[in-house]
Amino acid sequence: MKIGILTSGGDCPGLNAVIRGAVLKGIKVHGHEFVGFRDGWRGVVEGDIVDLPRQMVRGISKQGGTILGTSRTNPFEANGGPEVITAHMGRLGIDALIAIGGEGTLAAARRLTDAGLKIVGVPKTVDNDLDATDYTFGFDTAVQIATEAIDRLRTTGESHHRCMIAEVMGRHVGWIALHAGMATGAHAILIPEQKTSIDQVATWVLEAHERGRAPLVVVAEGFVPDHADSPHSERGLDAFGRPRLGGIADQLAPALEARTGIETRATVLGHIQRGGVPTSFDRVLATRLGMAAIDSVVDARWGTMVSLNGTEIVHVPFESALGNLKTVPQHRYDEARILFG
């Protein structure tokens, strides 16, 4: 078979390990041939491919980003759609697609599968918000990067007796904030799932300060304070019409400073969390998912994605990952909250 691979949506450490796992297993076990589509669905819609022989994936599992490039192109727009894609696949002799991406990618893949295309999926998001998989690769790396950065904020905060606010990724869910906040001993963790008043955050900050600590607040970019209706956004919309988030920490800093009298600084970690080498956990997970995606193709499990269930890789329908975000459950927040203040 000739299999096309694409990486789509925001990039994520581990994408290259998925590609390598799929290509190596496909070639070594089944004698498949591989091509990569450049820049996600854009390459699929335009029939823009690059050959993926074995030497192309040599040593790439430790490499950040994606060797194929990515985009947030919607395959149903930009002169795309199932007929155009089917025509390209026929012309290029491609039998099946492996789509590596988040909710938007998988939703598009499901629509294309419904239209008759042969597609299997590999879930991807640093936010860890996809349902039907215990963890997504990239999340562990993002938490690790955030933890290292927040540890650094901690020492400068202690030296100056300041309150430090670290803003991490997390559009709809607070997994990165919860884990990085817990790992760094944050005095408050603010996540999209939990509406919290600024007064409550100020109380936690003052409690920590009164014990002689430099207060540390970790906030997810999608956090909505209880007086607001939507997450802070001042950077326009992305290609899918979603508000570009970022900057809530800069809003919180003066509000907390006014309430507590403690000099407060905000740091937005942003895309640093998605860059650079994946952790060993993410490399292993991504490699196994890539290899399992080959099983999905061989077994003609079109319309399914590979996923992590405990320590096993399983196959689930696209539907189970769509429409339902994996949010931080109340008991996980309550557990963390015991340590606030």
Q: Which amino acid is at 42?
A: R
Q: Please say whether the beta carbons of 136 and 123 come within 8 A.
A: yes
Structural tokens at position 119:
């597609």
What character string, x for contact with ligand F6P (CB under 6 A) and - otherwise, covers 100-119?
Answer: --x-----------------
Position among 44, 94, 169, 218 found at the interface with ligand F6P (CB under 6 A): 169
Residues of span 124-143 touching ligand F6P by CB under 6 A: 125-127
Position among 5, 8, 10, 45 found at the interface with ligand F6P (CB under 6 A): 10
Q: How far is the CB of 69 from ligand F6P (least distance, A)?
A: 13
Residue with CB nearest ligand F6P? 169
Burial of 87 (0-12, 13-18, 19+ CB in 10 A): exposed
Per-residue CA distances from 150 to 27, 78, 185, 201, 311 (Å): 42, 41, 10, 18, 29
Q: Which part of the chain contacts ligand F6P (CB under 6 A), choosing from 34-42, 168-176, 195-203, 282-290?
A: 168-176
Position among 57, 245, 269, 294 found at the interface with ligand F6P (CB under 6 A): 245
Structural tokens at position 326:
């994996």
> Does 321 participate in binding ligand F6P (rule CB under 6 A)?
no
Q: Return the closest-CA partner of residue 41 out of 159, 121, 116.
A: 121
Q: What is the DSSP string of 101-131?
A: E-HHHHHHHHHHHHTT--EEEEE--TT--BT
Task: Report the C-alpha gap between 119 and 106 in whole angstroms.
Answer: 10
Position among 25, 38, 42, 171 found at the interface with ligand F6P (CB under 6 A): 171
What is the 3-class SS of 46-73, one letter each residue?
HCCEEECCHHHHCCHHHCCCCCCCCCCC
Structural tokens at position 38:
């450049």
Nearer to ligand F6P among residue 72 and residue 88 (C-beta): 72
Residues of span 248-267 touching ligand F6P by CB under 6 A: none
Residues of span 215-234 touching ligand F6P by CB under 6 A: 221
Q: Which part of the chain contacts ligand F6P (CB under 6 A), choosing from 33-41, 51-59, 81-89, 123-131?
A: 123-131
Residue of 11, 127, 129, 140 marked active site: 127
Q: How far is the CB of 128 from ligand F6P (least distance, A)?
A: 10
Active-site residue, 282 included = no
> Which positions are catalytic?
127
Chain residues that interact with ligand F6P, rule: CB under 6 A: 10, 102, 125-127, 169-171, 221, 238, 245, 274
